[in-house]
Amino acid sequence: MLLALSGIAVVIVGFVLRLNPLLVVASAALVTGLSAGLDLPATVALLGKAFRENRFIAVVWLILPMIGLLERGGLREQAARLITRLKRVTAGRVLLAYFLLRQGTAALGLTSLGGHVQMVRPLVAPMTEAAAARTVALDDTLRYKLRAHAAAVDNIAMFFGEDIFIAIGSILLILGFLENYGISLTPVSVALHAVPTAIAALLVHGLRLKLLDRQLARLAQLPPGAGR
């Protein structure tokens, strides 16, 4: 029985030696199957079955090479160049626009439309930095702060927007939790109660973005080299 856990040791040793993660996990799966008494064809068949049944999870990773090629082709630079052509645009306004887009689409169930990999890193963050750079010189500290704001916008808008959509996992989790305590609700009632929370999140974070713009405006008035 303990031999079946030998795959865990393979994972630990592989990661400690910093070997290829895919090779380590595949090797651990083979070792676990063989240690459990299965022959090699049966072990490989189980791996194939698990991949086939859960392939919808792996599909999202197919977008990563495409995003990498787009970034190599200048996607971030083009996004920044687009912002510099717009008048009266600020970092806070860029982030607020994305907040509205992210929360609105999440409320419709389109939770995969945004995200850190798909939107924040290649588009939202460069656009935010370009908008801020129009008025203030960016050092590493300020640049990372703007990137953190971009990531926070995605997280908060998604978190408070998805509960408005009735066919989402979080709604089912809430219903299941309440049923354990004898409280019976419908998905629609839970979604309706999520609307005021989403509006409050929009107002509170909109205020934060307004304060961000004010901070950038103050920095723009400081002489070069002054503290931030």
pLDDT tens column, 108-141: 988 888 888 888 988 999 999 999 998 898 899 9
Contacts 24+ apart (CB under 8 A), 72-75: 75/122, 75/123
Q: Report which of 88, 99, 123, 81 is spatially closest to residue 209, judged by C-alpha positions.
A: 99
| pLDDT confidence of residue 141 | 92
Gap between the Cα atoms of 145 and 113, Å rounded: 24
Lowest model confidence (mean pLDDT) among 90-104, 105-119, 133-147, 198-212: 105-119
pLDDT at 224: 56
Nearest CA to 158 out of 98, 91, 213 is that of 98
Rounded to whole angstroms, how far apart are CA atoms 4 and 80? 53
Please report which confidence band the pLDDT of residue 213 belongs to, taking 50, 70 and 90 as the band edges: very high
**Quick check: 109 and 149 in contact, CB under 8 A?**
no
State the pLDDT confidence band at 54, using cuts at 50, 70 and 90.
low
pLDDT of 101 higher than 90: yes
CA torsion through residues 170, 175, 176, 181, sign: positive
- Distance between CA atoms of residues 103 and 168, nearest Å: 14
Gap between the Cα atoms of 129 and 140, Å rounded? 11
pLDDT the model gives residue 189? 87
Q: What is the CA 86 to chain-centroid distance, rounded?
A: 27
Q: How far is CA 168 from CA 2, 114, 154, 188, in A?
A: 39, 16, 18, 11
Res 79: pLDDT: 82
* Nearest alpha carbon to residue 79 among 129, 39, 143, 36: 129
Please give the residue that has the higher pLDDT: either 143 or 15: 143
Q: How confident is the model at residue 14 (pLDDT cuts 50, 70, 90)?
A: confident
For residues 82 and 94, give the distance between their C-alpha atoms in angstroms, rounded to a whole number.
12
Identify whether the C-beta of residue 112 lies closer than 8 Å to the C-beta of residue 169: no
